[in-house]
Amino acid sequence: MSATPSAAPSVPASAIPSQRTSPAPRHPEHVPQFPPGTDIDQLDPPFLHTKEQYQKLWDSVDTLLLDCDGVIYHGPIVVPGVKTVLQLARKQGKQIIFVTNNGTKSRRMYKKTFDKLGIEAHESEIFGSGYASAVYLSKVLKFPQDKCVYLLGEKGLEEELDSVGIKHKGGTDPADNVVLTSPPDFSSFEKDPSVGAVLCSMDFGINYKKLSKAYSYLRDNPGCEFLLTNQDKVYPTGGTTWVGKLSLARRELTPGSGSLSSPLVFALQGKKEPTVVGKPNKPMMDAIIAEHHFDKSRALMVGDNQLTDIAFGNNSGIRTLLVLGGVTHEDQVWGPKASDIKPTYVMNSLGDFATLAE
């Protein structure tokens, strides 16, 4: 049970970016740095680090719900061992569902990303917060056909709304993607009475005009719904750094979708609270279960973010596996700074399961 893991490859410490500012994908054999004297077999939540522990968990799972960035890949780099793990899961008949809060891409776009990375994935297996939001509007809210959505978001979100027949404005429309250099005069702005919802997501062209329009619709249009694809505080970006033959993702955290929508929440002063569709909230799981029926007791949610991935699994009554090296580090799991959101298990990487294919 407590077999000693093999040593990690020798990499100069000075060559590795600081994990607090630039977390990098973990090598499958890397062992987290615990305080001297720590008994890693007594940690709570348990840290899985032996083949026997991996096998026991793997055999108890029929459905894998997998976060993408930070679990499957870091930017352009596939996490070592993950391709082998996914191939093993498919060979053994396990169900794979990719669950992401990234609302900038459609399922079609995600499929192209997976193809480029050499990872087998099917559109029906991909659940982004954009697609879940479109399904929520269409099937849960029964959004009227004569209404449209004002959008703060990217092309991928527009594509998902199109796929369920929901009209939209704003978004990538050049008329709304302008930078104002002087105080705006909105006295001539004619509000569209057909706007029945404002949907906010990650929007790289966010600007004062969009925020002002969204606010006016939420404030003045009767019954206008306020939806967020997700409420992530930060959004990971970055490129690639090479240390010898080991590739590391150079990652920086920038404001996320939840941060971009916060001006609207603040301006409304509690008069209208948003419905958040993505992880860790119930609408996302409702959308998944509507299309993929599975036994929750035999499912495992794998993620690198305690606030979204782990809380999502916990809220849904599903076991959770936290992988390190994304947005979560050891001191956020164990010790005085540990989060109150606890995973069922912790591992270095999803790629560690690759040892089971040997």
> Residue 17 has what pLDDT?
33
Q: State the Cα–Cα distance between residues 85 and 325, nearest whole angstrom.
A: 18
Q: Angle CA(115)–CA(86)–CA(126) in degrees, nearest 5?
A: 55
Residue 39 annotated as binding site: no
Q: State the Cα–Cα distance between residues 152 and 210, nearest whole angstrom.
A: 7
Residue 337 annotated as binding site: no
Question: Residue 291 burial (CB < 10 Å; 0-12/13-18/19+)?
Answer: exposed
List residues with catalytic annotation. Answer: 67, 69
Q: State the Cα–Cα distance between residues 344 and 45, nearest whole angstrom.
A: 6
> Residue 14 has what pLDDT?
32
Question: Does residue 65 register a pLDDT over 90?
Answer: yes
8 Cβ partners below 8 Å, 6+ apart?
27, 29, 30, 31
Which residues pair with residue 246 across a beta bridge? Answer: 243
> Residue 260 has what pLDDT?
93
Residue 286 annotated as binding site: no
Q: State the Cα–Cα distance between residues 33 and 40, nearest whole angstrom.
A: 11
User: Would you place residue 74 in the very low, low, confident or very high pLDDT band (cuts 50, 70, 90)?
Assistant: confident
Asked whether the beta carbons of 206 and 262 are under 8 A apart, the reply is no
Q: Which tens digits make up the pLDDT trace of 105-153?
A: 999 999 999 999 999 999 999 999 999 999 899 988 999 999 999 999 9
C-alpha 274: how far from chain center: 19
Q: Which tens digits make up the pLDDT trace of 44-60?
A: 999 999 999 999 999 99
Residue 309 annotated as binding site: no
Q: Which tens digits make up the pLDDT trace of 157-206?
A: 999 999 999 999 999 999 999 988 887 777 778 899 999 999 999 999 99
Q: Which tens digits make up the pLDDT trace of 293-352?
A: 899 999 999 999 999 999 999 999 999 999 997 788 888 999 888 999 999 999 999 999
Q: State the Cα–Cα distance between residues 134 and 160, nearest whole angstrom.
A: 6
Q: State the Cα–Cα distance between residues 132 and 143, nearest whole angstrom.
A: 14
Domains by residue range for the chain, with CATH:
41-101+281-357 (3.40.50.1000), 131-276 (3.40.50.1000)
Q: State the Cα–Cα distance between residues 314 and 300, nearest whole angstrom.
A: 10
C-alpha 245: how far from chain center: 29
> Residue 31 has what pLDDT?
58
Q: Which tens digits make up the pLDDT trace of 22-47?
A: 333 344 444 577 778 889 999 999 99
23, containing H or E segment: none
Q: Which tens digits make up the pLDDT trace of 335-353?
A: 888 999 999 999 999 999 9
Q: Which tens digits make up the pLDDT trace of 235-277?
A: 877 655 444 444 455 567 889 899 999 999 999 999 999 999 9
3 state SS of 82: helix
pTM: 0.78
The pairing of beta strand 95-100 with beta strand 126-128: parallel
Amino acid occupying residue 6: S
Asked whether the beta carbons of 311 and 321 are under 8 A apart, the reply is no
Length of the chain: 358
